[in-house]
Structure 1
Amino acid sequence: MVFGRISIILAAITALLLGGCATPQPRGIWSPEQLAVLKEENFVQTARGWEFTVDDRLLFATDESQLDASQTDTIVRIAKRLLAVGIQHAEVEGHTDKTGTTEYNDQLSKRRADAVAGLLTTNGFAAENVRATGLGERFPVETNASATGRRENRRVVILLTAP
């Protein structure tokens, strides 16, 4: 008798919890509409999630954290398109080349990430849904031995993980 009541109570609690939810999408599943926008905006799927591609990465000049007009337009467009398909969370990672001290590069990379995150929030993302991280010089994508390589390392990556 006691076990029967416990089962009924558990079933009622489960029904209440599930009944109040809109049809949830299973974790890790992107809708066809979301995938289309990600691909159209040149995000590529990686082991970490969906990232901006190398060709469309947000690059910065040496010792610079200000976005230019073209970068601003790109981020505004992406923010609006992502929100339109229900993508509301983003991680923004700032990076630097190896010029400067590690401490300075950490601060500069954080300013770069904050600049992009700020534009996302200004254009509709909730601040609590955007995480900005400065990773300094720790994760180069090219060699720091050449001007071209250093340029590629001065970047911001927008990373989107499964809903």
Structure 2
Amino acid sequence: MQSQGFRLTDNGWKSDLSRKVLLGNNIDTLNSKGIRRVQEMGRTLLSVGIPQFCSDDHTDNYGKDSYHDRLSLRRVAIIVTP
């Protein structure tokens, strides 16, 4: 896990910043590099018996909070969709 950029904390395994999956402003799709990163992280976690993970999403500061709430939900949907 550590070789893949994860570190063990009191709250479980966490990914360091080198494993970031960045999306552009107002974008709710992953490019091919982002897809590969998410798939690689998923395979790494599954290989050690961790079937789920928590991801944080941070949107930009353009628009209203309600827009960013919807954007965040769309972004989560692309991560959890096989």
- Answer yes or no: same fold by TM over 0.5: yes
2:63 maps to 100
Normalization by structure 2: what TM-score?
A: 0.81
The number of aligned residues is 82
1:63 maps to 26
3-state SS of the aligned residue for 1:59?
A: coil
3-state SS of the aligned residue for 2:54?
A: strand
- Structure 1: which 5+ runs fail to align? 1-36, 123-163
Tell me the distance in 2 between the aligned counterparts of 1:56 and 1:81: 12
Taking a change above 3 Å as real, the CA distance of residues 109 and 47 of structure 1, as seen in their structure-2 partners, is farther
Q: CA deviation at 1:78?
A: 1.7
Equivalences for 1:65-84 in 2 at 5 Å? 65-84=28-47
Tell me the distance in 2 between the aligned counterparts of 1:64 and 1:97: 10
Q: Which has the higher strand share?
A: 1
Tell me the distance in 2 between the aligned counterparts of 1:59 and 1:75: 11
Taking a change above 3 Å as real, the CA distance of residues 55 and 85 of structure 1, as seen in their structure-2 partners, is closer
Please identify the structure whose Cα radius of gyration is greater: 1
| Preserved CA contact (<8 Å) 2:26 2:71 | yes
Cα RMSD (Å) of the superposition? 1.8
Identity %: 26
Q: Given the alignment of the two structures, is residue 114 of structure 1 paired with residue 77 of structure 2, yes or no?
A: yes
Whichever residue aligns with residue 93 of structure 1, its letter is: D
Taking a change above 3 Å as real, the CA distance of residues 47 and 110 of structure 1, as seen in their structure-2 partners, is farther
Whichever residue aligns with residue 66 of structure 1, its letter is: T
| Preserved CA contact (<8 Å) 1:65 1:111 | yes
Could you list the runs of 4 or more consecutive aligned residues of structure 1 that deviate by over 4 angstroms after TM superposition? 45-48
- Structure 2: which 5+ runs fail to align? none
Equivalences for 1:122-161 in 2 at 5 Å? 122=82
1:43 maps to 6
Q: CA deviation at 1:48?
A: 4.4
Normalization by structure 1: what TM-score?
A: 0.45
